[in-house]
Structure 1
């Protein structure tokens, strides 16, 4: 089907020719000379009378183009182009013939277009395309050499090579395209952009190994070229070689410490690999170099929050908001930072600043949770009941806010009743099932916990949270350690650096009597995330292993951060009544 762009071209062509072809109608005398303008390209347009036959063929070509009959349009416009020698008609005739894959006609029209406008790059590229499709690579090379000579004079060879790769990448004659590009690279073998263009062509053809060779050749000529480095990294990732990509990123950045674009991409790569701490370090380096880049500053804020570094999260999110005041998501995260610091008044202020838009509903839900944390449980629930919900997603969000309020108030029975009702309204929702599984565990309803988590895994076998929760529950509340191990191994394969999964695996090793293995996992987990429950587990294993001094040190550090954590205080009272 003809593209809308080509349809517009035909319409514009027809209208412009009706008004621009010199014809039998004499123009009115002008009152004054027209101002000089950039119309030199049309200065040599032919003076051809708009004879009935020409007008008929123009109409025929225009109507055929509008109806998608591109072959008819190409043939008809090709005739008009030869009659009028109008470069605009030759251009449209060439494009139509190429689109219709009528390459002999395209070649004829393209030759005319190039003859009439010998310095028009697009005309010569269209001519090259037609020659390649007709397997006339030698002639295509000659025309490329003509183009390159002109671009070299204008000191524009880099762009010329990339355009060549684009032209060659579109041809169906792949062997000829590669042959031509090799000859072009041979013209300037020490020019990095020549090898870079070859890499692009190879990627277009799906030959990633040869693309990698060409990318390396480009970087050999220009070792600090960020664009080539980014392209090489993308090739490695397309080859499913994340470790090679990591090694390349690190080596390039070690040699080019100011390569901010490469460092940004490396940081994003680390985020994809779930390496939050390392990603944060790379984003911070970029932020130090470009302190006014709103996106980078915002990313540092988010990763600081992800890593539970609340002071840094607060600092960078506020700076991101200064740079981009309309960023309501930053306000939402600042509210969460304030919540974690137990600065509930500040959290409410942040949420109230979000007055409309896509984050308004979530802000209102969080507002209810904060009201409950301030002691107004009844008011918080009234607030949540008063929020107008428009769809199931919002119903789930409100239900989860209700559940959090009731769970934190230790009203587990009411929480599970509320969740039962919500699941009847939105059956099968994974978030509601997960929440009910956790509340059921608090009520010792382990069959409900297991049933809900297995229902999630039946629908989503790679749900990491469900795998970890079920593995931990079987470890902590039963002796079904083999099942727990299988679940936690699956979770670790999906998220190898997740602190909570490491904590669960460490707890499993402890329950099995493998103290050394348990300590290895738990220490790594606490290193990744400073969490009170992980500290509680590590302290217990250290205490039982006889290292009571380190156990107390771990607990004391955690108490300074979260003095009222239930799990932490429970284990301390267990061993230090």
Structure 2
């Protein structure tokens, strides 16, 4: 569907921008002036009163020159206000013009235009109708009125106005364009095309490329193959007539995309950008396409074009910054975001991303500073508060982190991630009861938040409440059957309690399907197999766990246990030593070293046979 309403109205208005206010043809252009019927004690000095001319019948009238001067003055003021974009004052001035020149259709047309800017369609229509009434041969007035009727979908009335234009001016090239548009709006495609084609054939029409473009737009909406081909041909003709016509390129590209030939559309757009002055409209389409395809360098090139030719440069710069972040070009991203923030210091979105880049580049003080500036009213507040607290904890400022998160919770209690972070900090301080209380408050507000419930289960594990742990983890899996942490934690808890080992194995295997490279998940599955005396299979999964989490003491210890059960004594001792080196708990270190000592004592009490003796014995045993 084509919409020519704004074009019709704006084109008509432009014709009258520089017109004179006074178009009255009445030779006796005079307005009567009557004295007040009461005595005004504060009358203006006689020197300031309008000049009065007495007629022969004794009735006083104002000087026509004065009237014309006033009309021109207010008309000029109206034009000045209009150029400034002050439609309200322009309307006032044009109304004043009509007081002194009541017969000027041009003033009514200017009023119609200003009312239209204000979105006051009915007032605009009234003025346009008045202009036509005053001067029925005014082509511009009929075009304006036709455009207004069209915008109100009063198509028969609009059509009448355009046909009137053609009667008044058979060579007019605007009316056929608008008539074609009206037929297009009413899905009368062939009639619409016939009018556009008449313009192509009209030697007086200076923009035949537009007519071809409109033919293409009409045919493009018709699904039949012959019309799709006609649309393509029309767009190509438009581009032959005007090679730098970006709208035709966009429509032709859209046609190719509609035909599932996205590559052809992109090639068309890129060639246009190379061969002509790059079009911001095409740059916008290309940049979005390349972003969706993950071709960030190409997208960035188009955004650079758009940055120089857009009314919203900050949005474009923000997209550019996000691309730089995606490409891990953090210094450039920082530079771009800092520039945007200077222009839009109130933007919490820009500030959040800048803080996130500071965090990524280990500029933690700067990151915390920016995160703290994000107001509680922002949608980014919860995440900003969590990140700020997390960074402070990492900087060994745990008390300050607790202060930040508690303040954040006081300002916004509707952010579940804040409850979770608060509890984790209290957990860090070994204040498990307080952590549990915070999570209980969070679950009152968000009873179906699986992650909060998971944390609540882990805190109860710290408190030794295994029954609560199991209950909460089951609830987690009811809310989210694919919650990997919940699957793993429940499986490991059952393994540690030596309960429900077949069910625990099922949970662990499900977790492994979801996260096949998670060392903790692999360790859980290996440990459950160990508990079921499936030592050979246990070794396989525990070795994989150690590969992915080589610095975790408990995983190394479990692998050592599995090696020992498989009589791989040297490997077992090696893993126990590594586990002891990685462990920070002194009691646990002592426990692991006791395992090494036990193995060594056993080795001393059972001397190994020479290899020449062991081999035949092994062969004999295998038989």
CA offset digits 1:16-75 (Å, max 9, x no partner) = 9999572245722989xx9xx999xxxxxxxxx9669999999999999989779x9799
Conserved in 1, the CA contact under 8 Å of 2:105 and 2:132?
no
Q: Which runs of 5+ in 2 are unaligned?
A: 30-66, 84-100, 305-315, 495-500, 530-535, 598-623
Q: Which residue of 2 aligns with 1:83?
A: 136
Q: Distance in 2 between matches of 1:54 and 1:295?
A: 46
TM-score by length of 2: 0.51
**Alignment RMSD:** 6.8
Aligned residues: 467
Q: Distance in 2 between matches of 1:177 and 1:81?
A: 45
Q: Which residue of 2 aligns with 1:476?
A: 492
Q: Distance in 2 between matches of 1:354 and 1:433?
A: 27
Q: Which residue of 1 aligns with 2:91?
A: none
CA offset digits 1:463-503 (Å, max 9, x no partner) = x6xx11122224433332334444665x56xxxxx965x86
Q: Distance in 1 between matches of 2:560 and 2:169?
A: 86
Change beyond 3 A, Cα 1:334–1:211: closer
Q: Say if 2:449 is the partner of 1:420.
A: no
Conserved in 2, the CA contact under 8 Å of 1:61 and 1:73?
no
Q: Which residue of 2 aligns with 1:333?
A: 356
Q: Say if 2:254 is the partner of 1:200.
A: yes
The secondary structure found in structure 2 opposite 1:83 is coil
Change beyond 3 A, Cα 1:186–1:215: same
Change beyond 3 A, Cα 1:470–1:483: same
Q: Write the mapping of 1:52-451 to structure 2, written as runs, cut at 5 A.
A: 80=133, 83-87=136-140, 89-110=141-162, 125-132=177-184, 133=186, 134-135=188-189, 136=191, 137-143=193-199, 150=206, 164=214, 168=218, 178=228, 181-185=231-235, 187=237, 196-201=250-255, 208-210=258-260, 212=262, 215=265, 218=268, 259-261=298-300, 296=320, 300-301=324-325, 319=335, 322-323=338-339, 324=341, 326=345, 327-330=350-353, 332-333=355-356, 336=359, 347=364, 350-352=367-369, 356-358=373-375, 381=402, 385=406, 389-393=410-414, 396=416, 398-424=418-444, 427-443=447-463, 445=465, 447-449=467-469, 451=471
The secondary structure found in structure 2 opposite 1:22 is coil
Q: Distance in 1 between matches of 2:539 and 2:172?
A: 76
Q: Which runs of 5+ in 1 are unaligned?
A: 40-48, 238-244, 266-291, 305-311, 493-497
Change beyond 3 A, Cα 1:260–1:469: same
Q: Distance in 2 between matches of 1:542 and 1:224?
A: 65
Q: Distance in 2 between matches of 1:544 and 1:119?
A: 94
Conserved in 1, the CA contact under 8 Å of 2:460 and 2:469?
yes
Q: Distance in 2 between matches of 1:515 and 1:119?
A: 89
Change beyond 3 A, Cα 1:233–1:570: farther
CA offset digits 1:315-365 (Å, max 9, x no partner) = 567545654465532564367558xx7xxxx74564246564336776666
Conserved in 1, the CA contact under 8 Å of 2:389 and 2:405?
yes
Conserved in 2, the CA contact under 8 Å of 1:365 and 1:401?
yes
Q: Which residue of 2 aligns with 1:22?
A: 23
Change beyond 3 A, Cα 1:318–1:78: closer
